[in-house]
Chains A and B, each alone.
Chain A
Amino acid sequence: MADTKEISSPAETEVERWEEETLNPALEKHPERKNSFQTVSLEEVNRLYTPADIENIEFTRDISFPGEFPYTRGIHATGYRGKLWTMRQFAGFSTPEETNARFRYLLEHGQTGLSVAYDLPTLMGYDADSPLAEGEVGKCGVAVSSLADMEVLFDGIPLEHVTVSQTINAPASILLAMYLVVAEKQGARWTKISGTLQNDILKEYIAQKEWIYPIKPAMKLVIDTFEFCTQKVPRYNPVSVSGYHIREAGATAAQELAFTLRDGLEYVAWGVDAGLDVDAFVPRMSFFFNAHNDFFEEIAKYRAARRIWAREMKGRFGSNNERTLQLRFHTQTAGVSLTVQQPLNNIVRVAIQALAGVLGGTQSLHTDAYDEALALPTDRAALIALRTQQIIAEETGVANTVDPLGGSYYLESLTQKMEDEALDYFRKIDAMGGMVAAIEKGFPQREIQDSAYQYQKAVERGDQVIVGVNKYEMTDEPAEVPTLVIDESVRAHQVERLERTRSQRDSGAVANALDKLKRAANRNENTMPATIEAVSAYATLGEICAALRDVYGIYEEPAF
């Protein structure tokens, strides 16, 4: 907003003086390397930021103190001086036995939380013996078809003490039910267990595309878990509203921010419509962001996210509850930024991305392993990724003070720009009737596709440099890195346990439980109690999803 007052501000005239006296002669002697400098989101970056760029920002209103509204500087008054972020490495591959061993390995080496990756058949709600699962069992994560697999997965891991994050979406309520039943069998109390269910179905339709049912019944299943957890598992986070996948699909930083937070607002609105009290369930909503290459843009994104969420919770939903207003988030470094070429370079990328997450005040962090553009990580690569976080935490000094970059002219101005861009998107999406309606129109999907294409073009023009890919390439690369190979025998192993489970269970109890679940779904009742009964009777994931598909139907992606 260029009004006369700003133009005549002392800072602005000072800038003009500097340009004339110092900058212009310097430019004449040494022109800049290029005409335009852009972030990885292809946003223009100025040469210099000065007080003039943050004139519209007020300290108490916009930046304030950590632990206080609008939480730009973090939700904890002491930042990481009290407690470091949780180092939570995502892991899962092959059989539940193998993943259980990896979990124990990570816990032994100082990891402080677990995060489960499920394989594609599990994510899509198919059992390991489904014809559609051929070639995919245990490949991108661990295979879980029934409670019997879940019992092996968490064998010897005390669920009352270790927090577990589960990356599962379309069938999330079923995996949550399995988790709760395993916890109960271990003697863990539901009131004591904590952890996070990703359960963010909106971003599946937008970006990751692992859906089963149409959007509205899928949203109903999410709200069922909110209601159930609020009552029975009060320390558990039933959703992790995820920008990660939106970014990986090609969104810019501002789009990641906007679509993720607007998804969050949609869940809150649906919860309120279902009769839940905002301050009863929103404090248990968590978020999940990407940490991409552009260092300052990412830090600005996290700071803007907290500020926007606090303001929206107050403005839209009238909350004054501190926990409702505070946005908590997990961060993962950008898988999409990893290169096959010169893969050890990825260690450096990951370290810098992780540092951005930390300077942005993340509550937990996953650092990618350097070999992930090739395959799932080996033990060695996974360990270096964890060590990267430990080095940031223990050696760099960045955790010594709260929000160390707060007040930077560039960062504050970028934080403001992020907020403005997100609010622009909110206005557009609100005008469409909300996020569900916008997704049905294909709006966020198209925006992301366009950004992905523009980025690819920028890389091919050489405007965006990727070291080792479009600059500093090597024809004779250093030795290849070893990769993890998932044996095709995993499927046979899993099918064998599945068949054993089916032959040993009480099939009458399974049929009854599935009928009960269908009734609950048909009557629009909360499906969680019937889901828990079904998994306890060892009904399989595939059977339960089939029952719900009978009631809800399946999603067909519109062409756009």
Chain B
Amino acid sequence: MTSGRKIRVLVAKPGLDGHDRGAKVIARALRDAGMEVIYTGLRQTPEMIAAAALQEDVDAVGVSILSGAHNTLCPRIVQLLREKGMDNCLVLVGGIVPQEDLPKLKQAGVAEVFLPGTSTEDIVQFLRNNVKPRD
């Protein structure tokens, strides 16, 4: 656990897809676990997501995506965050992602991909274990 500061997470919905059930359930579960959660709303470009992450000074970005556009959008989000100097900001992906795409996403800097059926408790634990403590 980080000391002092609550874990701050940006829940983001990139691309044109509007299915936000997952994003909203995760946002609420993380809040219930004591984290500070900012939800971007729908149809955010990678640029908008990275800008929001910087402005909100978050520890992690949770990207919810079901449309199949993950290979295009997720690596770009990671890249933009790194360009903004957010080297420790974790990028998590949740949604419909075929098995064969998982290594590519990890290689692009995605910390973890959570597939359908994941318990929100596992995501909470992952964040607690992997967010770098800061003052």
Instruction: Assess whether B18 is interfacial by the CB under 8 Å rule.
Output: yes
Instruction: Assess whether A194 is interfacial by the CB under 8 Å rule.
Output: no
- Cβ–Cβ contact A134 & B24, under 8 A: no
Instruction: Assess whether A126 is interfacial by the CB under 8 Å rule.
Output: yes
- Cβ–Cβ contact A373 & B96, under 8 A: yes
Instruction: Assess whether B129 is interfacial by the CB under 8 Å rule.
Output: no
- Cβ–Cβ contact A120 & B117, under 8 A: no
- Cβ–Cβ contact B25 & A140, under 8 A: no
Q: Nearest Cβ in chain B — how far from A309, in angstroms?
A: 27
Residues from chain B with a CB closer than 8 A to the CB of A456 are 25, 29, 120
Alpha-carbon gap, A219 to B115, bound state (A): 36
Q: Which residue of B lies closest to A491 (CB)?
A: B72
Residues from chain B with a CB closer than 8 A to the CB of A453 are 24-25, 28-29
Q: Which residue of B lies closest to A211 (CB)?
A: B18
Q: Nearest Cβ in chain A — how far from B67, in angstroms?
A: 6
Q: Which residue of A lies closest to B16 (CB)?
A: A120
Residues from chain A with a CB closer than 8 A to the CB of B41 are 557, 559
Q: Nearest Cβ in chain B — how far from A87, in angstroms?
A: 25
Q: Nearest Cβ in chain B — how far from A49, in angstroms?
A: 32
Q: Which of B19, B21, B42, B96 contacts A374 (CB 8 A)?
A: B96
Q: Chain B interface secondary structure, helix, strand, loop or mixed? A: loop
Q: Which of B45, B73, B117 contacts A340 (CB 8 A)?
A: B117
Residues from chain B with a CB closer than 8 A to the CB of A373 are 96, 116
Alpha-carbon gap, A249 to B42, bound state (A): 15
Q: Which of A136, A483, A559 contacts B16 (CB 8 A)?
A: A136
Instruction: Assess whether B119 is interfacial by the CB under 8 Å rule.
Output: yes
Residues from chain B with a CB closer than 8 A to the CB of A486 are 68
A374-B96, A452-B24, A460-B120 known; A135+B17 contact, CB < 8 A: no
Q: Nearest Cβ in chain A — how far from B34, in angstroms?
A: 16
- Cβ–Cβ contact A480 & B99, under 8 A: yes
Q: Chain A interface secondary structure, helix, strand, loop or mixed? A: loop
The 9 closest A-B pairs by CB, nearest first: A209-B18, A135-B72, A135-B69, A139-B68, A120-B16, A469-B117, A210-B18, A136-B69, A340-B115
A residues near B (Cβ < 8 Å) are 120-121, 123-124, 126, 132-136, 139-140, 204, 208-211, 248-250, 336, 338-341, 373-376, 449, 452-453, 456, 459-460, 466, 469-470, 480, 483, 485-486, 488, 557, 559
Given A134-B72, A374-B98, A483-B98, 11 other A-B residues pairs in contact with their CB atoms under 8 A: A120-B17, A136-B67, A136-B69, A140-B68, A249-B19, A249-B20, A341-B117, A374-B96, A375-B98, A449-B28, A469-B117
B residues near A (Cβ < 8 Å) are 15-21, 24-25, 28-29, 41-43, 45, 67-69, 71-73, 96, 98-100, 115-117, 119-121
Instruction: Identify 30 residue pairs between A and B in the complex whose beta-carbon atoms are under 8 Å apart, listed by A's number.
Output: A120-B15, A120-B67, A132-B45, A134-B69, A135-B69, A135-B73, A136-B15, A136-B16, A139-B67, A139-B69, A140-B67, A204-B18, A208-B18, A209-B20, A250-B25, A339-B117, A340-B115, A340-B116, A340-B117, A373-B96, A373-B116, A375-B96, A449-B24, A452-B21, A452-B24, A453-B29, A456-B120, A480-B99, A483-B98, A559-B41
